[in-house]
Amino acid sequence: MTTLIKNVKVIDAYTSYYGDIVIKNGLFTTLAKDESLDDIRVIDGKGLTAMPAFTDTHAHFREPGFEYKETIETGSRAAVRGGYTSVLLMGNTNPSCSRYEIINEIQEKAKQIGLVDIIQSGTITSGIEGKDISHLSDVRRATQFITDDGKGVMNDKIMLEAMYFASKHDMTVISHAENHYFSDTNMRLAENLMTFRDIELCRISGCRLHMAHVSTKEALKRILEAKEEGLNITYEITPHHIYADSSTHYRVNPPFREKEDVAALIDAIKSGKADAIGTDHAPHSLEDKAKGAPGISGIELSFSICYTVLVKNNTLSLNQLSSILSEKPSKILGIKKGLIKEGYQGDLVLVDTEAEYKINANQLVSKGKNTPFEGQKVYGNILMTIKSGNIVYKGEEYDCR
pLDDT, one tens digit per residue, over 210-256 is 999 999 999 999 999 999 999 999 999 999 999 999 999 999 999 99
Can you give the pLDDT at residue 1?
A: 81
Compute the distance between CA of residue 230 and CA of residue 227 in angstroms, rounded to an integer.
Answer: 5
Q: How confident is the model at residue 39 (pLDDT cuts 50, 70, 90)?
A: confident
Instruction: Write the DSSP assignment of 4-57 as a string of letters.
Output: EEEEEEEE-SS-EEEEEEEEETTEEE---TT--STTEEEEE-TT-EEEEPEEEE
Residues contacting 321, CB < 8 A, separation 6+: 306, 307, 310, 311
Instruction: Please report, as a single letter, which amino acid is at residue 235.
Output: Y
pLDDT of 396 above 80:
no
Told to judge if 280 belongs to the known catalytic residues of this protein, a careful annotator would answer yes
Which residue intervals of the chain bear CATH 2.30.40.10?
Answer: 2-50+346-394
Can you give the pLDDT at residue 38?
A: 67
**Per annotation, catalytic residue among 12, 56, 280, 352:** 280
Q: How confident is the model at residue 401 (pLDDT cuts 50, 70, 90)?
A: very low
Residues contacting 129, CB < 8 A, separation 6+: none
pLDDT, one tens digit per residue, over 163-212 is 999 999 999 999 999 999 999 999 999 999 999 999 999 999 999 999 99
Mean pLDDT of the chain: 96
Average pLDDT, integer, range 390-394: 97
Q: Which CATH superfamily is domain 53-333 in?
A: Metal-dependent hydrolases (3.20.20.140)
Can you give the pLDDT at residue 32?
A: 64
The Cα angle at residue 228 between residues 173 and 240, in degrees rounded to 5: 60
Secondary structure element (H or E) that encloses residue 382, with its range: strand 377-387
Can you give the pLDDT at residue 37?
A: 63
Which residue intervals of the chain bear CATH 3.20.20.140?
Answer: 53-333
Can you give the pLDDT at residue 398?
A: 52
Can you give the pLDDT at residue 169?
A: 98
Q: How confident is the model at residue 30 (pLDDT cuts 50, 70, 90)?
A: confident
Partners of 6 in beta bridges: 44
pLDDT, one tens digit per residue, over 72-99 is 999 999 999 999 999 999 999 999 999 9
Compute the distance between CA of residue 218 and CA of residue 191 in angstroms, rounded to an integer.
Answer: 9
Compute the distance between CA of residue 298 and CA of residue 7 in angstroms, rounded to an integer.
Answer: 31
Task: Return the CATH number of the domain spanning residue range 2-50+346-394.
Answer: 2.30.40.10
